[in-house]
């Protein structure tokens, strides 16, 4: 009897998981018109990361560690590879330094300043390479 109940639940689960992925797929599809570059994916992760630590910064305590894979900004394949010129490399390093320095400070006021500095570093590069996402990035600022 137990086994039957277990199996029954198992199949219900399987069915509902499948349903969810299918819903997710149909919702996403119209948004993705071209395949995203490795850099675009990394950028979306960087956006999500900063959005997710915003609340922690406001509360004055950072629980995450520095995401080492952000260093891939130096190598990730771009939609337009010619974007990676000398200025880009400098902006990329400036951003990484700003993002990293967040993990070396402890006071709430400093955390907030360093966090906003990192967001500013995102914007500095975007002003020259890719202006589209700037309004979205600006929402990351802590006022
Ligand atoms: C050194 C330059 C540089 C820095 C620093 C930078 N970006 Fe970007 N970002 C780009 C470029 C170039 C693209 C276009 C990538 C592509 O299409 O391959 C991009 C794309 C994006 C996108 C659009 C991704 C998509 O789905 O097409 C978002 C969102 C984004 N960046 C957010 C951020 C955030 C948030 C930060 C800081 C945490 C940041 N960027 C830092 C250069 C930069």
User: pLDDT at position 111, please?
Assistant: 96
pLDDT tens-digit map of 76-124: 999 999 999 999 999 999 999 999 999 999 899 999 999 999 999 999 9
CA distances from 41 to 18, 91, 107, 134, 143 (A): 25, 18, 32, 16, 27
Q: Which of 50, 52, 78, 130 to mutate to test the pocket of ligand 1 (most atoms within 8 A of CB)?
A: 130
Question: Rounded to an integer, what distance in angstroms lies between the CA atom of residue 44 and that of residue 41?
Answer: 5
Q: Which of 46, 36, 42 is nearest to 119 (CA)?
A: 46
Q: How many CB atoms lie within 10 A of CB 54?
A: 17
Phi, psi of 81 (to 5 degrees): -60, -20
The answer to whether 96 touches 73, Cβ cutoff 8 Å, is yes
pLDDT tens-digit map of 114-134: 999 999 999 999 999 999 999
Residue 92 CA: nearest ligand 1 atom is 1
Average per-residue pLDDT for the chain: 85
Residue 73 CA: nearest ligand 1 atom is 1
pLDDT tens-digit map of 2-23: 555 554 444 443 444 344 444 4
Q: How far is the CA of 40 from the centre of ligand 1 (A)?
A: 6
pLDDT tens-digit map of 21-68: 444 444 555 555 668 999 999 999 999 999 999 999 999 999 999 999
User: pLDDT at position 39, please?
Assistant: 98
Q: How far is the CA of 1 from the centre of ligand 1 (A)?
A: 56
Q: Is the CB of 93 under 6 A from ligand 1?
A: no
Q: Is the CB of 85 under 6 A from ligand 1?
A: no
């Amino acid at each position: 009897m137990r086994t039957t109940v277990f199996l029954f639940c198992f199949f219900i689960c399987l069915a509902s998981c499948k349903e969810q992925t299918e819903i997710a797929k149909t919702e996403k599809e119209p948004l993705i018109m071209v395949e995203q570059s490795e850099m675009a994916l990394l950028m979306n992760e960087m956006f999500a990361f900063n959005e997710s630590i915003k609340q922690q910064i406001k509360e004055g305590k950072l629980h995450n560690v520095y995401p080492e894979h952000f260093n891939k900004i130096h190598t990730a394949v771009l939609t337009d590879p010619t974007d990676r010129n000398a200025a880009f490399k400098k902006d990329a390093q400036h951003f990484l330094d700003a993002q990293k320095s967040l993990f070396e400070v402890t006071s709430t006021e400093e955390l907030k300043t360093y966090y906003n500095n990192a967001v500013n570093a995102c914007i500095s590069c975007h002003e020259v390479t890719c202006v589209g996402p700037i309004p979205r990035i600006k929402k990351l600022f802590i006022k």
